[in-house]
Structure formats: C-alpha cells, structure tokens
Amino acid sequence: WLKQLRIAKGRPPTPLLRPLLRAPRPLEAMALQAALLAALAAAAAEGVLRVEVSRVRRPTADAEIQPMALGAFAALGNAGKKPIESVEEVELMNNVNMGYAGEIEVGTPGQKLTVIFDTGSSNLWVPREKALKQLPAPKKSFFDPARSSTFAATQDPFRISYGSGTVEGFYCQDTVTIGDLRLDNFKFAEVRDLSGLYNYDNMEFDGLVGLGFEALSEGNLPSVMQQLIASGQLEEPVFAFFLGDNAPGELVFGGVSPEHYTGDFHFVNLSSATYWATEMESVMLGDMVSLTAKKVAIVDSGTSLLAGPEDEVKVLAMFLGAHTVQGLQVVSCDKEVPTLTFRIGGKNLALEKDDLIVERVGDLCVLGLMSLPMGMPTRSWILGDVFMRKYYVQFDYSRKRMGFALAKHPGSDNFV
C-alpha cells in the first residue's frame, strides 16, 4: 500500500533553495516587463548579455523572480502503533512552478511545519522562533521544543550551505512524522540563524527534509529515507515525485503512483551513492547542437530550474537567441525554441518550449535554464523541477538507481 504525500503547489512565491514565485498581477507584470526590456536594452548597448532578473522586485515587494538553489546546487518495535501501511502519500504545494513543499510534524504532540523535500541534500532542519525573529516580517511556522515531551537537545553545532545561502543551529532529537510514517528519536537540526539564506522571508516553506544519501549528510547522520527503510514501514525502499504543472503534486514513499505516469520506467544506475546522479551521454538542442563531453546528470527536487556548465549554457543560449538575465535565459514568447534533449542511459529525454518556460511577462518568456559556477569538479547538469514536471521520477534507494517515465498531467496528451 502506498502512502502518498501530496506535494501541494503552493504558497505565493519562492521555494527553498530556489526562491518560489507567485504569478504577477497585471501591474506587476507591466513593471517587470519594463524592467526586463530596459535591462536588455542597456545590456545590448554595452555589449553585455547578463541582466539580473531575480533582483527585479515586484511593486508589492513580496516576491522576486529567483530560482531555488538548494541541495546539489551548493556542492556538487511497533508495539502500540498503528498497523504498518507501506505507502505514504504527501501532498506537495506548488509555488507557481518554482518550488514544491509539503507538510510534516515534529515533536510530541506534533507541530506542523511546511518543508521542501530536497533530493540534493540529506539533512532535516526546522526553524526555531529565535531564527524567525531576525526576519523583517516572518510569515512562518516554527518548532518550539518546550511544547514537545520527547525533545532532547544537544550542544553540537549545525551548519549547512546551499546555493541560496547558509543556515545554522544545533542538532537535536525528537519524533518526526510524515503522514502516517513515524520516526522516534530522529536526529535533525533546530535552526536558530536564517539570516544567511537569501530571500527566505518570501519563501513559502519553513524547513527542509533532505532525501539524499548519508554520504551528503552534515554530521554523518542517517537520512530520513535510510531510517524509514530500517524501520520496516515501507513496502519498497523507494520514493517517487510527481510535480504538478501549476497544480498540486505528490511525493510517494514506499512505491510509485501509477495514475501520475504513463508508459514504462527507464532505469539508470547511479554514479555513486551521494547525489541522485547518473552518467549522461549528451545534451542536444534540436538538430543544431550536440554537446557530447562526458558529464553527470543530478536530479534535484531542491533546484527550480535546469543548470549546466557555464560554457555549455552559453552555447545553448547563443543558438536559442536568448538574452541572459541574472543567469536565466529570456526569449520572445513568439520565438520558436528547439527541443532540448538529455540523453541518459541510451534514451532521449526531451523538453519542448512549453516545458522550458517558467515565467511569461508580457511578450517575454523566461526559460528555466541557468549556469553553474565555473570550476566545478565534474561537468554536471542539475535537472531540477523543470525536468521533474515533465518526467515522473522514481528514486530506488536500495538498488541505487533512478527510473524515468513520462508524467501524466490532468488534461495532457502524455500517453504512449
């Protein structure tokens, strides 16, 4: 039996390590369009192709166009309990296609918090009230240890860095519940300093649950998935994501959700038990570009967009005829955009123009494509939520593999 965690798409703007967005209101869209046009004009005049779109603030000042960059982006006993149900569904809120968050409970009795489920990291952390008091106008929930009868503090410091910044606090132990799945005495972090996490105040989540492997864990702690498997609460040692397109999504622990994908899974082995990463043969743009240098593809639910080596993204942008705006590629919405294809495990996984667009502002379309910093140890592509909306992904923890199938969205023609 599967317990599906429905990942709701939602609170206004900005996800965890990639800032979440809300759809702009008409006046905001006009202001944003004007800012983009002015920036592009200035860039052309100076022979510069970069404009920082994420720093163009909406007139309401409550959101920025800024992708999340969590996870991979930063680094490259059942007595008295309910009968075991081996599949758990968690509803995921969709923050206007820029990030997805779901609900967990921490402590006894449980305190509800909204978290990003991040495949690119392995720690769980939640904020303390002290951390939120540092923010200008916090609209968050926080964990209060004084209200939990099972809380155990430590003096061990915690610090983790993401592409969007750093959070700090202390490790602790308490009960963590995801749907009907329960982990007693689970070790995680209660965060007391969020000042280093960019745009957190506007992000519609409170904390983060890492779904990567123990090798990525700060403090070498067992991950949530590792502990769930050890507890015997899952039918299968897998989890799977369905990311809705401007609609709620779903995270399944213990199996997959057949109503959310079509066709068979294409399985590929992981490069190593660290990130959810596999070898990728090539990146192609229509029949114009084929980048065949050996590279790694990291599937990361904590990153909003697609992110690749800077030199490769520049080549793609040139053939797209795109302008670079704070690392994002902007084209006219009337422009034809060739298919972007990732060849993984001998299979082409393609993204069309509509799959790539993450924001429409007047006649301009922002594509979900950005550059990774130069000097990364491997030539890596991060396949974030833009990719995961098109493809339903199964993460097989024990077999160390991933499976890709075409996602089935309501009203879509995704049938094979």
**Catalytically active residues, by annotation:** 118, 300
CA-to-CA distance for 362 and 192, rounded, in angstroms? 41
CB atoms < 10 A from the CB of 352, how many? 13
The helix (H) or strand (E) run that includes residue 242 is strand 238-242
Q: Give the rounded distance of the alpha carbon of 147 from its chain centre.
A: 30
User: What is the CA angle 54-57-63, rounded to 5?
Assistant: 80
Alpha carbons within 13 A on the beta-carbon side of 222: 14
User: What is the Cα–Cα distance from 127 to 169, expressed in whole angstroms?
Assistant: 9
Tokens of 251: 């995270």
DSSP string of 139-164, one letter each residue = ----B-GGG-TT-EEEEEEEEEEETT
304 vs 371: CA distance, rounded Å: 13
Separation CA 50–CA 213 (nearest Å): 36
What values do phi and psi take at 308, rounded to 5?
Answer: -135, 175
Q: Look at residues 124, 121, 127, 115 and name the one whose alpha carbon lies nearest to residue 90.
A: 115
CA distances from 379 to 195, 207, 370 (A): 31, 30, 14
Between CA 238 and CA 253 the distance in angstroms is: 6
Nearest to 176 by CA among 234, 124, 135: 124
Residue 226 dihedral angles phi and psi, to the nearest 5°: -60, -40
Dihedral angle, C-alpha 336, 358, 315, 332, nearest 10 °: 40
Is residue 128 within 8 A of residue 222, CB to CB? The reply is: no
Q: From CA 405, how far away is CA 16, in angstroms rounded?
A: 26
Using the 8-state DSSP alphabet, how is residue 227 labeled? H
Pairing mode, strands 306-309 and 380-383: antiparallel
